[in-house]
Structure 1
Amino acid sequence: MTSRSQELAITGTIGFVLFSVVVVLGWVVPVDRFVTASLEPLAGPLFVYVTELGSVKVLIGLSFIGMLYFLWRGNRFEAFRLPIVVIATLLVTQVLKLVFGVDRPSIDAALDATTYSFPSGHASGSLALYGMLAILMYRRNENLIGFGLLVAMVLAVSFSRVILNVHYFSDVIGGWLVALVIVAGSEVIRRKRN
């Protein structure tokens, strides 16, 4: 019998494969254009700061701060899982960018937008870090406001990339699917340990 985490990891993997075919064939272009046009009025300096919450430096730095917190709380598994999941997600995303070679809508080195577009590293990394912390909060029935803020951070960072015109909406969805598979895979390992 498979667990929900295993089912989610398998479904996410199949979903990413199918979605990547749709992206490569260009079938998402109308949706990407629609979402970009819809979010364009939101463009402004605020999202330059929001997007930084998904930068590699911030994600890795916060994951190591989280590691220290979990070590302090005596939870060694979560302490090491957090940075491993974040770093693995970022590395897998970079490899997939090279595999697919999708060009960005615009290149902007100031916004960490110099590599290929699909999937979005900011979207995958923010879901890996903030999403996993949200799951941990939800599992322990802790602070519902904190849970909501973490989910909002994932959405804000991810959509900031589209608002700033350095990613397509399809890149964000691809990034979320990558992180979903890795986080679900880490949940499978956690459940097998317990």
Structure 2
Amino acid sequence: MSGEHDEMRHIMHLLESGDGDRIDLLARAYAKYSKLDNVFVFVKTGGEITEEMRQDGAKVYVLNGSKDTSFSTFEEISRIMLKYEIDTVVVQDELPLLHFYGRSLQMVKKDLRVIPFLHNNPENYETRGYLADKAMKMVVMQSFQNASKVIAATVEIQDTATKVLGIKPDKISVLAHMSLDKPQEFAAELDAVLRLEKI
């Protein structure tokens, strides 16, 4: 590897809580096998998963944020971004606040790439009411439409994303290895996407 691919190696992952759901388990697997320089930021709470990731040597931050502390949480995320010279932010959860943080970080660092990761059906944004509120809908839609790339866990999720979120299909990378039974393959494929090899 040389050139641009070597430079795109400092990744910050924004997650909601380390409560042990599938997204957290995938994050732990990715942290263990990824060849990139990753930082994992859990904006609300930690848990058994975050402790296991730390024991494995991953860079993990738990911010214990809330709606009332959203600005101070953003400031802390900004400090982490600058400390590790982050060039790419991956929004790993559906929480609109994470999308807001990702977009806002681009005001701090103009060349920052923000990549939302669709683990679940995009219709979740509707069923959870995230698209009913005008402000939240604007944050979510702008996050996807202005993203450098969007990652989808399945082809079905890609198809729904084009309908619900208006994302162009060629902007979405679909991962073939999303199984916790094959964590090394998952990590290698996600590494390739984040190195821009599939963009």
Tell me the TM-score normalized by structure 2: 0.27
Counting strand residues as a fraction of each chain, which structure ranks higher? 2
Compare CA radii of gyration and give the structure with the larger one: 1
Greater RCO structure (CA 8 Å; 6+ sep) = 1
Counting helix residues as a fraction of each chain, which structure ranks higher? 1
